[in-house]
Amino acid sequence: MLLARLIIYSYFCVHAFTMQIKVIASSMYHSLPVVHSTLLIPNAELIFFETKDISMKKIFAVASISTMIMVSPYTFAANEGETSTVTFTGSIKENTCVLANGSLGQVVQLGDVESSVFASAGSASQPVNFTIALEQCDSANASITFSGTTATDEVLSVTGSGTVASGLGIQILENGTPLKVDGSAASAIKAVGAGSADEFNFSARYFALDNSVSAGEANATAQFTVKYQ
């Protein structure tokens, strides 16, 4: 009878302990903090007034959790000092998006603009619209950051294969407001997801930095990064 009681007691102890571990595991996972994630696309490029193809690589940051907990020594019947392990596995899924085909290495044609348009510093050509479209996004908030070789924090320097225009650069605008193109600030935050196409609408224009602008090629390349929050 004593042996039977010991066995029954041990059985309930084991099951009570097992239930406690499950509760702890559940509590641990429900208390995980929200992960703010970033999807970096370091080589995605916008080319203004150029025709070469640009390749794009996407790097997805993935967070993971692998936790092992050692169970403290516990007495089972007459055996002392027995130990075992409980292993918890899981992962934190990264928000993902895919750039639409039209947004991969796209070329924005700013056209041929007369130098007389730039009568003084601060003059600008008519803006040309372009769109960066994302597809297959998980629900999240996203923004886009531009960076490139700059004349100022809001103006990209121009280049060319021959004679290069001087005294001006290229601006990227959102709702008519110039964006930072040195990577220091992002566009407006937009909610993305729900399986639909998500579009970020921008425009670009030539912008005079000096009172005198000389003729020549005026091209620029900007990288953009999509950030999740």
Domain range summary for the chain, segments of one domain joined by +: 98-228
- pLDDT tens for 12-57 read 444 443 344 343 333 443 444 444 444 444 445 665 544 333 333 3
Higher pLDDT, 123 or 138: 123
Question: How many Cα atoms sit within 13 Å of 43 on the Cβ side?
Answer: 7
The DSSP element (H or E) to which 108 belongs, if any, is strand 107-108
Contact 126, 207 (CB under 8 A): no
Best CA proximity match to 174, nearest among 121, 131, 133, 220: 131
d(CA 59, CA 104): 15
Give the rounded percent of residues in the chain with a pLDDT score beyond 90. 47
The pTM of this model reads 0.63
**Percent composition of the chain: helix, strand, coil (DSSP 3-state, to 5):** 15, 45, 40
Q: Candidates 2.60.40.1090, 2.30.42.10, 2.60.40.10, 3.60.150.10; correct CATH number of 98-228? A: 2.60.40.1090
